[in-house]
Amino acid sequence: MPGMPSQRSEKVGDPFGTHRALEPAGALPQPAWRLDNDFSRLFAGELLLAVETLNVDAASFRQMEESGDVAKQVLETVAKRGKQHNPVTGSGGMLLGRVLEVTPEHPDAATLRAGDRVATLVSLSLTPLCIDAIKAVRPTSAQLDVDGQAVLFASGCYARLPDDISERLALAALDVAGAAPQVARLVKPGTNVCILGAGGKSGILCAAEARRRGGPSSRIIGIESHAPFAEDLRALGVCDEVLSLDARDPVAVRTGVLAANGGREVDLSISCVNVPDTEMSAILVTRDRGIAYFFAMSTSFTKAALGAEGVSKDVDLMIGNGYAHGHAEHTLQMLRDLPAVRALFEKRYG
C-alpha cells in the first residue's frame, strides 16, 4: 500500500549488505550475481529510498545503446539481478532520490528525514533496486527518470543534495568528491605539490585545495596538456606555474617540474590524468620519501610498483580511495568557499 511504512524484519542487517545477496548467498553485494530487492521488509540498518533518476555509468550506457533499447535492458537487468549491474561492462552508476524510510539502526537515523533529497555515492552495482516504471531516457546525460525504490546499507555512502547548488553542479562535484579531502590531509604549509592533469575536474579541486592548505610558502605546479584547460587553470590563479606538458612523457615532466621548483623534486605528486602510462611522471617528480598519490582510474598497479623499483625511488605510492569521511560535504563546501572554482565548474559542468 503506497505510503504505508514497510514491516521491519527482526533480522539484523550486515553493514556491508551481505544479508541481501541471494546468489551466492552471503556474498558481498557487489560481486554477487543477484540481490534481494524485496523491500516489503527492511533489515536493521537499512535506508529505503524512492528513486527518481538513475545516473548510469557512461561505459554501461553506451554498451546498452549499442545493443538495443536501453530502457528494456535496464528493466531486464534489474529483474534478473535485483540491481542495475550491467552484466557486460560490470559497471553501475549512482542514483538520485528521496528518503522514504530510515531504520532506527541506521547510523544517520537521528538526522535523516523522510523526503530529504539524496544522491548515492556507492555504485548501483551493489545497490538493491526495483523499478516500477521508466518515464524517460536521457542519452546526453546517461540518465533515466524512473519510479522505483532502492536500499542503502549502513555502510553505504550518500550525500544530501544542497538547496544552494544546482543539481547538475552538485553531481559533477560529487563525482570526484574523494580527491580534495585526501589532498587536505597531505598538504601542509610549505608542501610542494605537482598535479598531473590539473586542469580537469578532479585536478582543479586538488590544485585549489593544495593552494589553500599550503598557503604562500607552498609551490603548486600544475601539468595540463589540453590548451583550453591549461588556460582555465592559469586564469584561476591557484597554481604557481601551469606547464603545458604531456603527462606520458616522464623526462619532459621531470625537467619541467624541477625547473619550476628551484631544481628540487616535490613532496607530493597527484595524478588526476585519465590516460595510461603516466605513472613514471608522478614517480620521477617526487622527492625521496615523498608521496605519489594516484587518483586516475587508468593507473596500473604494476607499472607504479615496478616503475618506482626500476629507478630506485623510495616514495610512498598511494591508491586514491574514492571515499573519505565527510568527502561530499567537503567538496560541496569548496564550491561555496571558492567562487572562482564554482564559476569555472558552472561554465563547464553546470
Binding stretches for a copy of itself (CB under 8 A): 16, 18, 26-28, 30-31, 121-123, 125-126, 155-157, 178, 250-251, 280, 284, 294, 297, 299-302, 304-325
> In the structure grid, which three cell numbers stand for residue 329, read together?
560535504
Minimum CB distance to a copy of itself smaller for 60 or for 125? 125
Minimum CB distance to a copy of itself smaller for 49 or for 284? 284
Please report how close the Cβ of residue 26 comes to a copy of itself at its closest, in angstroms.
6
Residues written for the chain: 350
Please report how close the Cβ of residue 242 comes to a copy of itself at its closest, in angstroms.
24
Cα 127 off chain centre by: 16
Are 41 and 8 spatial neighbours (Cβ–Cβ below 8 Å)? yes
Minimum CB distance to a copy of itself smaller for 72 or for 289? 289
CA max distance for the chain: 70
Are 196 and 253 spatial neighbours (Cβ–Cβ below 8 Å)? yes
Please report how close the Cβ of residue 300 comes to a copy of itself at its closest, in angstroms.
7
Please report how close the Cβ of residue 235 comes to a copy of itself at its closest, in angstroms.
31
Dist. CA 213–CA 328, nearest whole Å: 18
Please report how close the Cβ of residue 304 comes to a copy of itself at its closest, in angstroms.
5
What is the residue whose three cell numbers read 590516460? 275
Dist. CA 226–CA 244, nearest whole Å: 7
Dist. CA 111–CA 41, nearest whole Å: 22
Strand partners, 133: 147
Collapsed DSSP state (helix, strand, coil) of residue 40: coil
Please report how close the Cβ of residue 43 comes to a copy of itself at its closest, in angstroms.
16
Q: Write the CB contacts of 165 (distance below 8 Å, at least 6 apart in sequence).
A: 173, 332, 335, 336
